[in-house]
Structure 1
Amino acid sequence: MRLSQFFLPTLKETPSEAQIVSHRLMLRAGMVRQLSAGIYSWLPLGYRVLKKIEQIVREEQDAIGCNELLMPTIQPAELWQESGRYEDYGLEMLRITDRHDRNILFGPTNEEVITDIFRKEVKSYKQVPQLLYHIQWKFRDEIRPRFGVMRGREFLMKDAYSFDIDYESSRHSYNKMFLAYCRTFSRLGVKAIPMVADTGPIGGDLSHEFIILAETGESEVFCDKTWLDKDLTGKGVDLNDRTNLEGWVQTTLADYAATDEKHEAENCPVSGDDLIATRGIEVGHIFHFGTKYSEPMGATVLGPDGKDVPVMMGSYGIGVSRLVGALIEASHDENGIVWPEEVAPFRVGLINLRTGDDACDAACEDIYGKLKNAKIDVLYDDRDMRAGGKFADMDLIGLPWQIVVGPKGLANGVVELKNRKTGERSEVTLEAALNQIGA
């Protein structure tokens, strides 16, 4: 993409309403713009990051045999009345009345809808287990939306749901999702620690939040410092081998980690310098809630003994839009964002220091073409403006690599290659630059 054709409204000054780093940088980098309190338009740069995160989440869900579907944003109140949550959920639920005076709502979550789908279509134990997920926009009417996309009212989430015949099978589904989450966050380039957590309005008997440690986080969290060096990629784990998978999950969770609601200082097995007490950003939450929804909503299957059995269920969420802010909180410097390569909106920023100079223009067109042919996302800054502004914008938006082309370098047969994460700059031949980037 040529920057002269790309909609990128960057800001030099920090907007006064932005209280945390991710909100400030997302506004300054032209990623989002606020439409109203807690509701944002995603501009091209931000939307590219959002879609890349969404795709990684999707790939890891698919890898454990989860089936993608798409459920509506608007839900009938009757389903929530049936489960008993319509009045219990609270003021965060946006309740609406349509022209026929029917009560409907903008879905804050989808347990009722997915249970309704399941009970209408699945009748036998031979049709379970089932793992279903969707990636959809949700709305929760936060009393005080703040911190940009980190605590907005409208947000994009991945929700998955498991349906099993018995407790043992249901826990296996929970463990499969636990592994998928660990792999997802590892691919995104962040350390998300699974912590024992409160089940809240979702309910259930077992719950883990996946937390990125950050002083700007909204939650108080406590964990053993061993988590900082723990490998959460799940390499070599066979998700179809229940014993192998369960053993890995138990080993992983052997070290202490808990959210504030679950932390008991007097009973904590870790103390002194070994205990990290800080704040964290919740980016994922998984729940095992058994028959909480299946029993009141009649989601049963015919068991092997010929009797109806309420299915055991689990629910698993990842905050896709929230992750954009969380990644920035975890990876930035004084000049702007530093994107992990897997989610960067473009992998390479190509900077023409003298637009209009025949040699510079020709060299940049050649590089631009080669990067595109190699299927590498490149943002070519072909604007006719001062070099300082180009450098500032490129550092601000945080692309992993910069190739800088100027008349002096070309005269010596080199370009400048910059690694955004390390700040390392080197003058190399064009061929060497392309090889290092992987073109």
Structure 2
Amino acid sequence: MKVRNLVSKRFKETPADCQIASQALMMRGGYIKPVGNGIFTLFPITKRITAKIENIIRQEMNRIDGQEVLFPVTMPADMWRKSGRYDSIGSELLRFKDRSGGDMVLGMTHEEASVQLMTDVADSYTQYPFMIYQIQTKFRDEPRCRGGLIRVREFTMKDAYSFHTSQEDLEQYYMRCYEAYNRIYARCGVPEVVAVASDSGMMGGKVSHEYMLLTDVGEDTIVLCHDCDYRANMEAAPCLLNNEPGEIAPLEKVDTPNVKTIEDLCAFLKIKPQQTCKAVMYQRNVDDSFVIVFVRGDLDVNETKLRNYLKAEVHPAVVTEDSGIHAGFTGPMGLPEGTTVVYDSSLKGIEWLATGACEEDKHYIGFNIARDIGEVEYVDVAKAFDGGICPVCGKPSIYTSRGIEVGNIFQLGTKYTESMDMTYVDQDGSLKHPIMGCYGIGVGRLAASVCEAHHDDYGPVWPMSIAPWHVQICSLRADQPEVIEMSQKLYDALTARGVEVLWDDRSVSAGVMFSDADLFGVPLRVVVSPKGLQNGTIEIATRDKSMKELVPVNEAEDFVVRFVEDALAKLECKL
């Protein structure tokens, strides 16, 4: 491919509204073009990258006995009604009617389609286990699109579904997928991706992992341990801590005029936030009934944990005058009837607390839950925090980091096969529901994440395995016949040996040519110039600037081929 013929346009300046480096560089480099909010067209350079990622994914899925299928993007709503997700999923699921008035959905995931496909097909235990997968367009009406391809509404995803006759068999296959994912990310050039325990969310199931690229621009918060290999998404990490019980004292109501925040209360009473009981107020989406969470004053509520405990969606409360709730002075005693009260585990064992008195400008001090309320259920609904106790090694060595989710795997159980009545005849003649696993990777997001992990101020630094081309030839002074002749000879020879070459033979300045080459991010750059040819050499350098050599003209071809082969071999790929 010649740069002059490449369908794309590069820009000197970063377009407006670019939030992270990968988005800015992919917009400047002619990789993507916005069509609508969270919807992009991919230029050829990006399509080459994603095609290579898809090829690596296919190889690894086939390696663990996956069979590729293709589900429809559009599905009848009845399929999703059977699973219960047509009503349980919010506006992220795009619902519409076809010309005959039938309810339809655009697929954001394909659990229902996989079960529908295999119902009446896998009807005997002798056909199990098996895994089917696809690489397909999906649509999720994401409310928070950001970062170019990092968070979008329309995207390409590899999703796989395994079917089993026992939990033990699922767990064994789950680990095969776990390791296959590690190989995929290593081969794509981002071995720094880590697997973390996660919350299964709308997917269902009890065991799940997310694969995270640790980066400061990530949207997800990851909980890690300095002293062991514990890793979990904030949504799934327990909040463990050692409480100071405090000295038991009589319950006393005190005046606290205009003291509505924990910070104000601590300053007013000259106490620590750890000595306070904070009220965080929500309402159930279904009926607006109040849910009040009481948590230690220095901690925050993990809303995912809360939703999982309540088995209901909630939103921040809107407190009105007739609600009977005194915002800023809310405590466990004196709440309106019908209020759901949740006590976080962080309060357990504390014998002296300051908390709201459910009266304007009043607080209690000396509050003791066991004495003043009685026996309550403590639930872990708080966010883990830096310095918290690790659930694995037991040390106060928890810390948090940011990450981009680039894949996920779930043990789904029988959630979908039961609801959609998929059965097989077991060895003893009984009908049973298969047990499922689910495994997803966002292709475009992975490409953008690699760019986020490997770039400099001038452009991406693509790994050889997924780079749009292996080598870029830069012909300086393309008006010189000897430069064009040597460039053409190299281009033809390398292409014949399977090396993918991008050739820039435009009559532009070296500055423009090298600036564009930086944006292309091709791993190896071959510079053919009049001065070099006069000295019998060709300059060969890596995009990451780790190597630059003047190679004799007659050795350049073999040098390039060896370099490309070695780089691919390190990533377990072949030329």
Common topology (TM > 0.5): yes
**Using the alignment, how far apart are the partners of 1:118 and 1:162 within structure 2?**
11
1:59 aligned partner: 59
**Using the alignment, how far apart are the partners of 1:172 and 1:223 within structure 2?**
25
Q: Deviations over 1:14-61 (max 9, x none)?
A: 001211011101111100000111000000111110111111111100
- Residues 114 and 388 (structure 1), Cα distance of their counterparts in 2 relative to 1, 3 Å cut: same
Task: Verify the 8 A CA contact 2:146 2:152 in the aligned structure 1.
Answer: yes
Look up the SS of the partner of 1:55 in the other structure. Answer: helix
2:223 aligned partner: 222
2:7 aligned partner: 7
Shift of 1:434: 2.7
Shift of 1:429: 1.2
The letter for the 2-side match of 1:281 is I
The letter for the 1-side match of 2:45 is L
Q: Does 1:438 align with 2:438?
A: no
The letter for the 1-side match of 2:25 is L
1:290 aligned partner: 413
2:526 aligned partner: 403
Larger radius of gyration: 2
**Using the alignment, how far apart are the partners of 2:553 and 2:440 within structure 1?**
44
Give the counterpart of 2:514 among 391, 394, 397.
391
**Using the alignment, how far apart are the partners of 2:131 and 2:395 within structure 1?**
42
Task: Verify the 8 A CA contact 2:533 2:553 in the aligned structure 1.
Answer: no
2:343 aligned partner: none
1:261 aligned partner: 235
- Residues 433 and 384 (structure 1), Cα distance of their counterparts in 2 relative to 1, 3 Å cut: same
The letter for the 2-side match of 1:16 is A
Structural RMSD (CA): 1.5
**Using the alignment, how far apart are the partners of 1:274 and 1:335 within structure 2?**
38
Look up the SS of the partner of 1:148 in the other structure. Answer: coil
Pairs within 5 Å for 1:150-189: 150-189=150-189
Q: Deviations over 1:299-329 (max 9, x none)?
A: 1100000000100001100111100110011
Q: Does 1:425 align with 2:548?
A: yes
Task: Verify the 8 A CA contact 2:225 2:398 in the aligned structure 1.
Answer: yes
Shift of 1:143: 1.3
Q: Deviations over 1:203-251 (max 9, x none)?
A: 101000011100000100022458xxxxxxxxxxxxxxxxxxxxxxxxx
The letter for the 1-side match of 2:202 is P
Shift of 1:356: 1.8
1:82 aligned partner: 82
Shift of 1:147: 1.0
Where do 5+ consecutive residues of structure 1 fail to align? 227-253
Shift of 1:332: 0.3
1:326 aligned partner: 449
**Using the alignment, how far apart are the partners of 2:396 and 2:550 within structure 1?**
45
Look up the SS of the partner of 2:469 in the other structure. Answer: coil
Shift of 1:422: 3.3
- Residues 274 and 56 (structure 1), Cα distance of their counterparts in 2 relative to 1, 3 Å cut: farther
**Using the alignment, how far apart are the partners of 2:534 and 2:446 within structure 1?**
44
**Using the alignment, how far apart are the partners of 2:194 and 2:101 within structure 1?**
45
Normalized per residue, the structure richer in helix is 1
**Using the alignment, how far apart are the partners of 2:550 and 2:486 within structure 1?**
15
Task: Verify the 8 A CA contact 2:495 2:501 in the aligned structure 1.
Answer: yes
**Using the alignment, how far apart are the partners of 1:19 and 1:270 within structure 2?**
37
**Range moving further from structure 2, 256-265 or 13-22:** 256-265
Task: Verify the 8 A CA contact 2:478 2:484 in the aligned structure 1.
Answer: yes
The letter for the 2-side match of 1:90 is G
TM-score (norm 1): 0.91
Look up the SS of the partner of 1:33 in the other structure. Answer: strand
**Using the alignment, how far apart are the partners of 2:216 and 2:161 within structure 1?**
32
**Using the alignment, how far apart are the partners of 2:397 and 2:48 within structure 1?**
40
Where do 5+ consecutive residues of structure 2 fail to align? 241-388, 563-575
Look up the SS of the partner of 1:87 in the other structure. Answer: helix
Shift of 1:428: 1.2
Q: How many residues align?
A: 412
2:274 aligned partner: none
**Using the alignment, how far apart are the partners of 1:274 and 1:433 within structure 2?**
52
Shift of 1:120: 2.5
1:199 aligned partner: 200
